[in-house]
Every structure is written in C-alpha cells, then in structure tokens.
Amino acid sequence: MEQDMQIYLDYQATTPVDPRVLEAMMPWFTQSFGNAASRNHAFGWEAEKAVDQARKTLGAAIGASGREIVFTSGATESNNIAILGVARMYAPKGKHVITCSTEHKAVLDPMHALENEGWELTVLGVDEQGHINLDELRSAIREDTTLVSIMHGNNEIGTLHPIGEIGAICREKGVLFHTDATQSLGKEDINVQDMNIDLLSGSAHKMYGPKGVGMLYVRRRNPRVRIAPVMHGGGHERGMRSGTLNVPGIVGFAKAMELCLEDREGEQAKIAAIRNRLQERLSSSLSHVHVNGDENNRLACSLNISFEFVEGESMLMGMHGIAVSSGSACTSASLEPSYVLRALGVGDELAHSSIRFSVGRFTTEEEVDRAADLTISTVKKLREMSPLYEMAMEGIDLSTVKWSGH
Amino acid sequence: MVYSDKVIDHYENPRNVGSLDKEAEDVGTGIVGAPECGDVMKLQIQVEDGVIKDAKFKTFGCGSAIASSSLATEWLKGRTVEEATEIRNVDIVEELALPPVKIHCSVLAEDAIKQALADYQNKQGDEPVSTEE
C-alpha cells in the first residue's frame, strides 16, 4: 500500500497509536515483561504496579476508582462481560433487559444471545437523529428489568445519547445502567458518579492506544455491581475476567488517556473545526446532501453524510487514497445496508449513498481539503452517470416511481 | 472489494454514458432495479434496419453494476435485435471476472437488455423475439 498517498479519515474505525504511547509501552515487552499475577518476584511486582497505576489513571478519567476498572481485550469483550455477566448474575431478580436499535453489534448480539437463553429483550427505536425517546425508556423499565444498555457516542453517525439523563432514569427505577463509551472515552466529558453509570466499556485503539486492550468499569459502591464471569480461569481481575493481563497494552491505554486529557476540550474543538470544514466544503459544493445523525450533538470527529443519487461503493472506488467507510450494502460483509441508518427511518436509498468520514488528532486541513475535492468530483462524475439524478433533474419524484426491484 | 482491471477500466472510462430520446419510435428503453436495493440501471438502444446503431446507459450502483452496463452497451452496438437477445449474464461475469457476490449486477444488465429490446419491439408492434435458447 502506498501509504504516503493515503489520507486516513476513518478514525471511528481505529486510530493510529500515538508515538508517545508506543514509547511508553516499549519497556514492558522486553525488559519489564513480568506477569502481573506473579506475586512472588520482582518481575511480577513491577508489572502489577504498572497495571495498578494504569487503573488509577483510567478510573480517574471517568470519576471512578482504579479498583473499579477491569481490563479486557477490547470493547467487544467489555460489552459481552457487562451484558452477559450482569444478566446471568441478576437472573433471580428478573430476566428483562433493554437496549436500542443503533447499538454496536457487540451489544446487540449478546443481547440477542440472552433472548435465545430465555430473557426478554426490549429494543428501543430511535428518531431521525438517532435519539431514543426517554419517556419510552422510562415506561419500558419493568419490575423484572435488570439492565439497560445504551451507548454514548454512536460509531456510525456520531449521535451522542444523553447518558446522564438515561443514568438518572435507571437509578430512579433501580436498574443497572451500562454504556458503551468506545467512541467517546477520552473525548467527551464522562463522570460515572454524576451520570449514574454502573458499567462502562472502553477501548484503547479508538483513542490512539494499541489494539487488543479494553476496559470495563464496574461500580463497587451504591450499588455494588456483581458480575458472573464470562471468561473462566485463574481468577484475575477479582474473578470477573480471567486471563493474563496485557501489561504493555494496559500501560499504553493509560498513556493514551493521559494524552487525551492533557487538553481534551482544546483537542476536541480543533477536531470539530476540521470536521466542520469538511462538512461545509461538501455541502456548499454539492446539492442533495444529507448529514445523518444529530448535527448539534455528535462526536467531534464524526461526519456521516449521504450523497443522493450515487451509491456508496462506487464512490469509494472513485475516491482513491481516501480511507473512509460507507453504509452501502455493497461494502458490508452482510450485503445489507447499514442497520443504523435504516433505524433512523431515512430510507434505504440514503443508507446506500452514505459515507462516514471521521477525522482525528493527526488530520490536517490540507488532507480534508484534498478529500473534499476528490469527493466532490467523484459525486459529480457519478451523478452524470446516474439515472436517478437524471430523473430528479427532470422533476420526477423518485418516491412515486414504481421500481422493478430484484 | 478488489476488482478486476476490466471493471476498473469500465468504471474509470465508462463507454456510452448518456440518454437517448425515450419517446422516439426507434429507441427502446429498459430501467431495472430499485434505489432501496442500491442499484438502478437504465439501458437504451437505438435501432436502424434491425441493427442496433447506438446504445447508452446510466447506472446508479456499485462499480460492478456500472461496468456490467457499460460492457452491455459495448456489446449491443452493431448487433441485430435478434443477436442482442443472445447476451447472457454469465458472459458478462466471465468478461469482467465478477466475484460471486457481484453476479446480481450482471443479471441486472441482462434484464435491462431484455427490457430495452422488449420496449423497442413493443413500439414496432412486433412480436417479441424469443429469448429462449
């Protein structure tokens, strides 16, 4: 891959490791390689100390204590432990759980797994901006509800759920609240006390840390959350997640968090400005574009935009060297258009025409300008080739056309 | 998706993009697919003395859909209406080396050809040419 020519605008998929993070990790591979669970020698003590320091850093970042942080292999595992672990532990209280339709598959799939095991599942719908209705949430909570899982920032459209308000409802109703904060950790203001969050999932590689390490915050007081282990074994992480700790990864995760918090608001404002520059260029040069999600309340990095009358995969083909994602069916393994965009009720055709741009710490104005230029020329070229654009220009309302389908 | 060089060539340099007058007596138009499915093809032929003199397409869809319809117009030009019915989706798949997940693009192109031919014949008041082998 000729990386010099490539422009990376897919920060919601993953981020590069910050060189300062890598530097902090290096000694923990070859010199200080001990197993944090080795209690009887210096190698182990050294590793354990580093892990405990990382716990404190990551806990403090969300208003928690280090002892409430469980290290995992990533947010998928954190979500699985939170959902399956809580549901199974609290099964005697009830077997009803609640989530929403735009969650990541790492939440939806364990929820559906519970359903197959006899739990009842309520999946809340969302409005056109990707928000759940809080009254609907309130009335969905029942006597036998044990867990509500609603994400913070959406990975496709960037919409931020009001997790503080959701937490308050859950607390008032006496049910546990889990939030998947994979996209927002280190970026948005999160405080598990103020927001009444009982469990929170995060991942290092979305915030300039390494892949393969994640965390799960598990509240210890008011209330003390208990979890049935999903991973059985040596009893690491107070029995909640067995398995040797990834010490270099954990050190890197904490370093990444430190860097994010150095000037969190300043960095997020800068990232939002670059995102807005891209959005402005695209919307001012092209007609018939739709920003998906909640423009006023979304992750700073995120721009999900549909270009009417052109199909996403064909756009990606034209945008050489620009690394982005599409909600088009043709770009997904399942050959289905994005379920998140479909959940917004904006029409499948807009899902097929969507591109997700996500910018980050290392994105420059020059890069988004080049990406915008190439996107604009590609959309124009493909619209010249699009029968839908031609019909729309002729004044035909495409929603009234009887299509043959296939 | 890793595409063959031929698909990329048709995508980069699509042949015969455009529209013919769909009201004209000597023009047949086929429109297949649906926006919510992610692909719509419009394929048109202009016929003179039983021979396809011109063919144009416009496609909303992925690179394979664009390439399939572009290739179809290339193949249609110069054929008789009779010969045009012989174009099969498997030929398109082979020529463009389409992967299995993209075979539906070639099916759509064959459907568009059939519809354009039927529309033309309909305008002439002809019995449709049989597409059976």
Q: Which runs of E-coded beta strand occur in A189-330?
A: 199-203, 214-218, 289-292, 302-307, 322-323, 325-326
User: Considering Cα of B66, then B72, then B74, then B76, what sign does the dihedral take?
Assistant: negative
Dump pLDDT digits (tens) for A187-196. Answer: 999 999 999 9
Q: What pLDDT is recorded for position A232?
A: 93
The answer, for A333 touching chain B at a CB cutoff of 8 Å, is: no
Q: So which residues of B are the catalytic ones?
A: 37, 105
Cβ proximity of A180 and A77 under 8 Å: no
CA distance A321 to A370: 10
CB count within 10 Å of CB A334 equals 8
Alpha-helical runs (H) found in A174-246: none
Q: Is the pLDDT of residue A1 over 60?
A: no
Nearest to A330 among B38, B107, B108 (CB): B38
The angle that helices B103-124 and B63-76 make with each other, rounded to 10 degrees, is 40
The answer, for A394 touching chain B at a CB cutoff of 8 Å, is: no
Q: Nearest chain A Cα to B13, which residue? A: A381
CA distance A69 to A52: 10
Which tokens go with B76? 């249609």
Cβ proximity of A25 and A255 under 8 Å: yes
Q: Nearest chain A Cα to B59, which residue? A: A386
List the one residue out of A108, A105, A102, A167 whose CA is nearest residue A134: A167
Residue B124 carries which side chain, given as an amino acid letter? Q
Percent of chain A scored above 70 by pLDDT? 97
* A residues 88-127 lying closer than 8 A (beta carbon) to B: none
Asked whether the beta carbons of residue A314 and residue B33 sit closer than 8 angstroms, the reply is no
The count of residues in chain A is: 406
Dump pLDDT digits (tens) for A321-337. Answer: 999 998 887 766 666 88
Asked whether the beta carbons of residue A385 and residue B37 sit closer than 8 angstroms, the reply is no
Taking residues B3-18, what's their average pLDDT? 95
Taking residues A35-51, what's their average pLDDT? 96
User: B interface toward A at CB cutoff 8 Å?
Assistant: 1, 3, 8, 11, 14, 17, 19, 31-42, 58-63, 65-66, 101, 104, 107-108, 111
Q: Is the pLDDT of residue B60 over 70?
A: yes
Q: Nearest chain A Cα to B56, which residue? A: A385
Alpha-helical runs (H) found in A123-233: 134-140, 163-173
Q: What pLDDT is recorded for position A329?
A: 73
- State how far residue B15 is from chain A, nearest Cα, in angstroms: 11
Q: Which of A3-7, A60-64, A196-200, A301-305 has the lowest mean pLDDT?
A: A3-7
CA distance B84 to B119: 14
Nearest to B11 among A317, A331, A406 (CB): A317
pTM for this prediction: 0.93
Q: What pLDDT is recorded for position B133?
A: 41
Contact list in A for residue B31 (CB cut-off 8 A) is 387, 404
What is the Cβ-side half-sphere exposure of residue A281, based on CA atoms within 13 angstroms? 20
Dump pLDDT digits (tens) for A253-289. Answer: 999 999 999 999 999 999 999 999 999 999 999 999 9
Nearest to B63 among A309, A313, A405 (CB): A313
The answer, for A347 touching chain B at a CB cutoff of 8 Å, is: yes
Nearest to B58 among A318, A347, A387 (CB): A387
Q: Which of A111-115, A397-401, B66-70, B117-121 has the lowest mean pLDDT?
A: A397-401
Average pLDDT, chain B: 92
- State how far residue A354 is from chain B, nearest Cα, in angstroms: 11
Cβ proximity of A2 and A222 under 8 Å: no
Average pLDDT, chain A: 95
Q: Is the pLDDT of residue B84 over 90?
A: yes
Which one is predicted more confidently, B45 or B133? Answer: B45
Q: What pLDDT is recorded for position A327?
A: 83
Dump pLDDT digits (tens) for A375-402. Answer: 999 999 999 999 999 999 999 988 888 8
Contact list in A for residue B38 (CB cut-off 8 A) is 311, 328-330, 337, 348-349, 352
Contact list in A for residue B62 (CB cut-off 8 A) is 311, 313-314, 317, 328, 330
Which one is predicted more confidently, B96 or B125? Answer: B96
Residue with tokens 């994010």: A260
Taking residues A41-53, what's their average pLDDT? 97
Of the pLDDT bands very low, low, confident and very high (cuts 50, 70, 90), residue B132 is very low
User: Predicted ipTM?
Assistant: 0.92
The answer, for A52 touching chain B at a CB cutoff of 8 Å, is: no
Dump pLDDT digits (tens) for A141-166. Answer: 999 999 999 999 999 999 999 999 99
Q: What pLDDT is recorded for position A404?
A: 78
Which tokens go with A138? 């309130």
